[in-house]
C-alpha cells in the first residue's frame, strides 16, 4: 500500500479509522482539520482507544451517530472531551438520541458545557439531497435516516437466533405504548434547544408532577429541559434561558435530579433507526500569487476584487514628477512622498476601465487554480434490512451530486451483512471507478477479531512469563477477510488506525507511530517495549531490562515450583478452595492504554459449578469479559449464563456505564439463563437501566418476571446492616435469590466518597468472606463490617506521598488501603482502581512483616485471574515486575500528561 507524505494544500484534512469491528469495539471515523475534529460513531471504549493512540478529543465539537445501539461510548466521550477542555458539543443522531443522553443524567452532567442534540428529519424524496444538518467553514454534512422496511410496523417481532454458532440476532425493540403516533411530517431537523423558549404545558416544580406520563410535544419539551439542566452552557440558545425560581423546601428536585423515569420515546422500533452521512467540502479557491500581481501592476486596493473572482482594469499611469507636485521648497521627504501618493491616487481614480493604455487582469492570471469540493459518504448499515432500504433510494443522485463528486465511501456493516452480498456489489458498482470503497465488516461475519488494545495485550504477554494461568492473554482471532471479486477494484478492508487523504490515498501522518500488531508467537522480546521510532538509547535500555526480567521470571517460576511442592494446605483454606478473582478493569476515572475502568469478577464455586458476581461494571466491561474468557470452553457466554449478581457501588460513570452492554448481550442468549440476574445498585441505576430498556432489549421487561432471563433489582441501602423486612416484603425475594443461587449473603456498607457510595461484604455459607470497598477514603464502618475477611478488594487510587489529593477526591492511598486490611485482619488484599498517573505498576512501599495481621498483598492488572490459594505468589512477582515496568516510567508518565491535566483529576466522573 503506497503512502504520501502529506495532504495536498487544497484539502488539508485527514481521515483516521479509530476502530473497526471487534468483540470490544465497533467502527468509528475521525475527520481532522487544522482547528476542528469531527467524530463519526462512538462505539463502546472509544475514549480508551483515543487515549491509547494519543488522539486528543478536545477539538471534537461535532459527533455524528449512526445507530444508538452502537453508541455506548457517547457518555464517556462527552465527559472526556469536556475534561480535555472542550466547552461546546453538538451531537447528531437518530430519533431517540435526546432520550439516550437524558437517561444518562445521573452521571453525565457538566454545568459549563454547551450541548445540543439534533435529529435529522425523514427523507422527503428518494432522489433529492436534503439540506445539510451542519455547515461550517470546513464542511457540510447531509444526513440520511434509514429504517428497515418492516420497522414502520409496531408489531414487528424479532426472531431469536441460536447461540453460540449463529450470527448475533438483530436487536430486539421494546414494546411501545399502543397510542404512539408514528407519523412525522416535519422536514426540519429537531434540536434539543428548539423548544426551550416555549413555556411547557406542565410545572415540574409541582409536587404532583410525573414526567413519565408525558407524551408528544410535552415529552420532548421535558427531555430538552432535562438536557438543559445537565449542560448549562448557553452557546446554542437563541436567547438567555429564563431565570429558574429557587427551589423551596418540599419542592421536587431540579429536572436532571428527579428520580422519576423519562417518558418513553414515541417512535417506531427506535433501536433500528440508523443514520448515514454525506460529507461535502466547499470549493477551495486557489492561492493568491502576489509576485504575479506585482508583475501586472495590480494596485493593492484591487487585490480583493481579484480574489473574489472579478477581473480588473490596470491602466498605464505615468509617475508623478517632482515639478508636478507644486513644491515651494523646504518640504521634507515624508511630506513630498505624501503629496506624491495623493497625486497618484487622483490619476488612478481618473482612469476609465477599458479606455486608454492598459489591460484587463483576470483572476486566473494571479491565482492558483481553484480546487472543487469533494464528497465522503459514511454508511451505517446495522442489518440487511437497512441495506434493502438503501438500495431503494436513488443513491447515485443522492450521494454523488455532480457539483461535489464522491472520493470515498465508508461501509460500516452489521453482523448479518456479508461482504459478498449482491446488494453491496450492486450499490458499490454503480459509482464511478474513481470512488474508493472502504469496508468495515462485522467481526461476526468474518471471524476476524483483532486485538484492540495492543499495549495492554503486550503487557499481559510479558507478565505471562511469570505465570500464564494468572496473567491471561486476550482472546483474539486473526483471520482478515478477503474482498470478493464482485466488488470494485478500488475496494479495501479497513484496519484500526489507518489514515486516508481526502482523495482516498492511504496516508501516514508525520510523527505518528502506530502500535505494533499483537503477535504472541513472535513478540517475546524487547522490540515492542518501545515505539519503532524511539531513540537508540531508549531501545538499548529496553533490551537490557527485558533480558534481566526474563532471567528473574525464570528464577521465580523455579522457586514457585519448590514452594508449591512444600506447601501444606490448612483446614481454613479448604473453605475457600476454588474462589478466584478476575480483574477486568483496574484503572480509575478514565481508562488508560494499560487499564480499563472499574470491573472485578468474583468466581464462586457453588453446587459443582463456577458462578460469578460482578463488582462494578465500567464502560468496556463486556469487551474485557469477551477478551478474557472468549478462548475458553463455553467462552464469554458461559460467564454470562453463570453471572448471578452485579453490584454497583455508586453512580460515577467509570463504575457502571458498561452494565447496559452486559445486559444487552445477556438478553441475546438462546436459550435465556434460567436463574435470575440480581442487580444491587443505587436507585438511580435502576432508573437509568429502565430508560435504556425503552431503547434496547435489556431483559428487564415486566414480561420476563418469573421466566427465564429475568432481571431483578435491589437498592443498595436495602442491604445495609440492621435493615429488617416484613415477611411479605417483595424485596426479600431478591435477597433469597442471591442466597439460593450463589450461597452468599450480601451486606452493603455506606463508605466515604464524594457521592453516595457503598462497599459490600459477601459472606459465603462455607465460611469465607470477601469485602469490596467501592470508592472510598479509609472507612471505619467498612473495617468493622468486614472483620476477618478472607479477601479484601480495596481501591488504591493515589500514591502515599499525596494523601491530601486522595482526601480531596474521596479516595485512598496505597498505604491507607493496606492499613485498612491490617485493621480488618484481612488475609488477602487485592489493590485496584489505580490513577492514570501510574500507567503500569503503581509504586508500593509495603514490606512483608511478621505481624499476624499483615495481609498478603497483590496488585491488580487487567485480565489477571488469581485464586485465593495463589495470592502468596503475587508477592514473589514484585521484583521482576519492577524490572520490567520501571525502566520506562518517565516516558509513560509523559504520555499520560493530557489525562492528568483534567481540572478535577477525576476524568469521567
Dump pLDDT digits (tens) for 750-759.
999 999 999 9
Hey, what's the cell of 852?
A: 499476624
Tell me what pLDDT residue 178 has.
32
Segment 714-724 shows an average pLDDT of: 90
- Percent of the chain beyond pLDDT 70? 85
Helix (H, G, I), strand (E, B), or coil: what is residue 216? helix
Q: Between 862 and 151, whose confidence is greater?
A: 862
Segment 654-662 shows an average pLDDT of: 97
> What single DSSP character describes residue 471?
B
Tell me what pLDDT residue 186 has.
56
pLDDT in tens, 287-313: 889 999 989 888 888 888 988 889 999
Tell me what pLDDT residue 170 has.
34
pLDDT at residue 198 greater than cutoff 80: no
Q: How far is it, in rounded angstroms, from Cα 569 to Cα 578?
A: 13
pLDDT in tens, 731-748: 777 788 888 888 999 999
Segment 879-885 shows an average pLDDT of: 88
Residue 184: band (very low, low, confident or very high) from pLDDT cuts 50, 70, 90: very low
852-890 burial, b at 16+ Cβ within 10 Å, e below that, comes to eebbbbbbbbbbbbbbbbbbebbebbbebbebbbebbee
Supply the Cα-derived Rg of the chain in whole angstroms: 32
What is the dihedral sign for C-alpha 862, 866, 870, 872? positive
- Percent of the chain beyond pLDDT 90? 55
For the chain, the average pLDDT equals 85
Tell me what pLDDT residue 121 has.
87
pLDDT in tens, 80-129: 999 999 999 999 999 999 999 999 999 999 999 999 999 998 876 667 78
Element (H, E) at 258: none
Tell me what pLDDT residue 447 has.
81
pLDDT at residue 42 greater than cutoff 80: yes
The residue whose grid cell reads 482526601 is: 807
**What's the distance, CA 451 to chain centroid?**
17
Tell me what pLDDT residue 135 has.
96
**Alpha-carbon separation of residue 850 from 373, 788, 792, 818, 833 (angstroms):** 74, 17, 20, 15, 28
Tell me what pLDDT residue 143 has.
95
Tell me what pLDDT residue 535 has.
77
Tell me what pLDDT residue 815 has.
94
Tell me what pLDDT residue 3 has.
38
Residue 544: band (very low, low, confident or very high) from pLDDT cuts 50, 70, 90: confident
pLDDT in tens, 470-523: 999 999 988 888 999 999 999 999 999 899 999 999 988 876 766 677 776 655
Q: How far is it, in rounded angstroms, from Cα 763 to Cα 579?
A: 13
pLDDT at residue 528 greater than cutoff 90: no
- The residues facing 499 across adjacent strands are 16, 507
Tell me what pLDDT residue 850 has.
46
Tell me what pLDDT residue 885 has.
81
Within a 13 Å sphere around the CA of 229, how many CA atoms are in the beta-carbon half?
Answer: 20
pLDDT at residue 909 greater than cutoff 50: no
What is the dihedral sign for C-alpha 246, 248, 252, 258? positive
Q: E strands, 675-778, where?
A: 677-681, 711-715, 744-750, 758-764, 769-772
User: 905, exposed or middle or buried, with CB in 10 Å at 0-12, 13-18, 19+?
Assistant: buried
The residue whose grid cell reads 407519523 is: 183
What is the dihedral sign for C-alpha 792, 798, 803, 804? negative
pLDDT in tens, 131-145: 999 999 999 999 999
Q: How far is it, in rounded angstroms, from Cα 814 to Cα 802?
A: 10
Segment 525-537 shows an average pLDDT of: 65
Residue 849: band (very low, low, confident or very high) from pLDDT cuts 50, 70, 90: very low
Residue 377: band (very low, low, confident or very high) from pLDDT cuts 50, 70, 90: very high
Tell me what pLDDT residue 4 has.
35
Q: Between 343 and 873, whose confidence is greater?
A: 873
End-to-end CA distance of the chain: 42
Tell me what pLDDT residue 897 has.
36
pLDDT at residue 587 greater than cutoff 90: yes
Q: E strands, 501-574, where?
A: 506-507
pLDDT at residue 892 greater than cutoff 60: no
Hey, what's the cell of 545?
A: 531490562
Q: Between 271 and 147, whose confidence is greater?
A: 147
Residue 243: band (very low, low, confident or very high) from pLDDT cuts 50, 70, 90: low
The residue whose grid cell reads 463455553 is: 634
Within a 13 Å sphere around the CA of 487, how many CA atoms are in the beta-carbon half?
Answer: 19
Helix (H, G, I), strand (E, B), or coil: what is residue 330? coil
pLDDT in tens, 575-586: 888 999 999 999
Q: Where are the alpha helices (DSSP H) in 352-453?
A: 363-366, 384-391, 395-398, 422-429, 443-446
What is the dihedral sign for C-alpha 455, 461, 462, 464? positive
Ranking 161-175, 331-345, 675-689, 785-799 by mean pLDDT, the lowest is: 161-175
Amino acid at each position: 500500500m503506497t503512502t504520501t507524505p502529506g495532504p495536498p494544500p487544497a484539502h488539508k484534512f485527514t481521515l483516521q479509522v479509530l476502530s473497526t469491528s471487534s468483540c470490544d469495539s465497533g467502527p468509528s471515523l475521525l475527520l481532522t482539520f487544522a482547528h476542528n475534529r469531527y467524530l463519526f460513531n462512538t462505539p463502546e471504549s472509544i475514549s480508551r482507544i483515543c487515549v491509547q493512540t494519543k488522539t486528543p478529543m478536545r477539538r471534537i465539537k461535532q459527533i455524528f451517530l449512526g445507530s444508538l445501539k452502537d453508541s455506548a461510548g457517547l457518555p464517556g466521550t462527552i465527559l472526556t472531551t469536556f475534561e480535555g477542555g472542550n466547552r461546546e458539543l453538538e451531537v447528531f443522531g437518530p430519533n431517540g438520541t435526546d432520550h439516550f443522553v437524558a437517561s444518562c443524567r445521573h452521571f453525565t452532567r457538566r454545568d459549563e458545557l454547551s450541548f445540543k442534540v439534533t435529529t435529522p428529519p425523514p427523507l422527503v424524496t428518494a432522489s433529492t439531497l436534503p439540506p445539510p444538518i451542519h455547515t461550517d467553514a470546513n464542511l457540510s454534512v447531509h444526513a440520511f435516516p434509514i429504517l428497515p422496511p418492516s420497522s414502520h410496523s409496531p408489531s414487528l417481532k424479532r426472531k431469536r437466533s441460536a447461540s453460540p454458532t449463529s450470527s448475533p440476532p438483530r436487536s430486539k425493540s421494546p414494546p411501545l405504548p399502543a397510542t404512539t403516533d408514528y407519523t412525522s411530517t416535519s422536514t426540519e431537523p429537531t434540536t434539543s434547544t428548539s423548544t426551550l423558549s416555549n413555556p411547557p404545558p406542565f410545572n415540574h416544580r409541582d409536587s404532583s408532577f410525573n414526567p413519565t406520563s408525558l407524551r408528544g410535544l410535552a415529552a420532548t419539551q421535558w427531555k430538552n429541559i432535562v438536557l438543559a439542566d445537565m449542560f448549562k452552557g448557553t452557546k446554542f440558545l437563541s436567547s438567555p434561558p429564563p431565570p429558574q425560581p429557587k427551589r423551596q423546601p418540599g419542592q421536587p428536585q431540579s429536572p436532571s435530579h428527579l428520580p422519576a423515569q423519562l417518558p418513553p420515546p414515541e417512535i417506531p422500533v427506535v433501536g433500528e433507526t440508523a443514520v448515514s452521512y454525506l460529507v461535502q467540502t466547499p470549493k477551495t479557491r486557489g492561492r493568491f500569487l502576489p509576485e504575479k500581481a506585482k508583475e501586472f501592476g495590480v494596485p493593492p486596493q484591487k487585490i480583493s476584487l481579484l480574489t473574489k473572482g472579478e477581473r480588473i482594469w490596470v491602466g498605464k499611469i505615468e509617475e508623478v514628477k517632482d515639478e508636478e507636485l507644486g513644491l515651494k521648497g523646504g518640504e521634507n521627504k515624508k511630506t513630498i512622498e505624501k503629496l506624491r501618493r495623493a497625486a497618484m491616487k487622483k490619476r488612478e481614480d481618473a482612469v476609465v476601465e477599458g479606455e486608454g493604455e492598459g489591460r484587463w487582469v483576470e483572476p486566473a492570471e494571479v491565482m492558483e487554480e481553484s480546487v472543487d469540493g469533494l464528497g465522503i459518504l459514511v454508511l451505517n448499515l446495522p442489518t440487511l434490512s437497512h441495506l434493502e432500504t438503501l438500495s431503494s433510494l436513488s443513491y447515485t443522485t443522492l450521494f454523488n451530486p455532480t457539483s461535489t463528486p464522491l472520493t470515498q465511501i465508508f461501509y460500516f456493516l452489521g453482523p448479518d451483512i456479508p461482504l459478498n452480498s449482491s446488494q453491496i456489489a450492486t450499490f458499490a458498482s454503480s459509482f464511478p471507478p474513481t470512488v474508493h470503497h472502504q469496508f468495515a465488516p462485522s467481526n461476526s461475519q468474518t471471524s476476524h477479531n483483532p486485538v484492540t488494545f495492543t499495549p495492554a495485550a503486550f503487557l499481559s504477554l510479558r507478565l505471562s512469563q511469570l505465570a500464564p494461568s494468572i496473567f491471561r492473554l486476550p482472546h483474539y482471532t486473526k483471520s482478515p477477510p478477503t474482498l470478493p471479486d464482485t466488488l470494485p477494484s478500488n475496494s479495501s478492508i479497513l484496519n484500526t488506525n489507518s489514515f486516508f487523504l481526502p482523495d482516498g490515498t492511504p496516508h501516514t501522518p508525520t510523527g505518528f507511530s502506530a502500535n505494533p500488531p499483537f503477535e504472541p508467537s513472535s513478540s517475546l522480546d524487547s522490540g515492542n517495549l518501545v515505539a519503532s521510532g524511539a531513540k537508540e538509547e531508549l531501545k538499548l535500555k529496553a533490551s537490557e531490562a527485558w533480558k534481566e526480567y526474563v532471567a528473574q521470571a525464570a528464577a521465580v517460576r523455579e522457586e514457585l515450583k519448590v514452594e508449591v511442592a512444600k506447601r501444606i494446605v490448612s483446614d481454613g483454606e479448604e473453605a475457600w478452595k476454588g474462589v478466584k478473582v478476575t480483574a477486568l478493569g483496574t484503572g480509575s476515572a478514565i481508562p488508560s492504554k494499560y487499564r480499563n475502568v472499574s470491573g472485578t469478577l468474583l468466581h464462586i464455586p457453588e453446587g459443582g459449578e463456577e458462578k460469578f458476581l460482578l463488582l462494578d461494571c465500567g464502560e468496556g466491561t463486556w469487551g474485557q469479559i469477551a477478551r478474557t474468557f472468549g478462548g475458553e470452553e463455553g467462552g464469554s457466554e458461559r460467564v454470562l449464563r453463570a453471572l448471578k449478581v452485579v453490584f454497583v457501588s455508586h453512580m460515577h460513570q467509570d463504575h457502571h456505564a458498561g452494565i447496559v452492554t452486559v445486559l444487552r448481550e445477556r438478553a441475546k442468549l438462546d436459550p435465556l439463563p434460567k436463574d435470575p440476574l440480581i442487580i444491587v445498585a443505587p436507585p438511580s441505576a435502576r432508573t437509568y437501566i429502565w430508560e435504556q430498556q425503552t431503547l434496547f432489549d435489556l431483559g428487564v421487561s415486566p414480561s420476563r418476571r418469573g421466566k427465564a432471563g429475568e432481571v431483578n433489582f435491589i437498592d443498595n441501602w436495602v442491604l445495609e446492616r440492621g435493615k429488617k423486612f416484613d415477611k411479605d416484603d417483595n424485596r426479600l425475594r431478591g435477597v433469597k435469590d442471591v442466597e439460593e443461587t450463589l450461597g452468599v449473603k450480601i451486606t452493603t456498607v455506606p463508605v466515604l466518597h464524594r457521592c453516595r457510595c457503598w462497599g459490600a461484604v459477601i459472606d459465603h455459607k462455607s465460611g469465607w468472606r470477601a469485602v469490596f470497598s467501592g470508592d472510598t477514603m479509609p472507612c471505619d464502618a467498612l473495617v468493622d463490617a468486614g472483620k476477618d475477611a478472607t479477601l479484601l478488594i480495596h481501591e488504591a487510587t493515589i500514591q502515599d506521598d499525596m494523601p491530601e489529593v486522595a482526601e480531596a477526591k474521596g479516595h485512598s492511598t496505597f498505604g491507607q488501603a493496606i492499613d485498612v486490611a491490617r485493621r480488618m485482619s484481612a488475609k488477602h488484599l487485592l489493590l485496584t482502581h489505580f490513577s492514570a498517573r501510574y500507567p503500569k505498576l503503581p509504586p508500593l512501599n509495603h514490606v512483608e512483616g511478621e505481624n499476624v495481621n499483615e495481609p498478603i498483598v497483590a496488585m491488580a492488572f487487567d485480565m489477571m485471574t488469581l485464586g485465593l490459594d495463589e495470592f502468596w505468589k503475587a508477592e514473589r512477582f514484585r521484583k521482576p515486575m519492577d524490572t520490567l515496568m520501571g525502566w520506562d516510567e518517565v516516558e509513560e508518565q509523559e504520555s499520560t500528561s493530557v489525562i492528568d491535566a483534567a481540572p478535577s483529576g477525576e476524568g469521567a466522573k
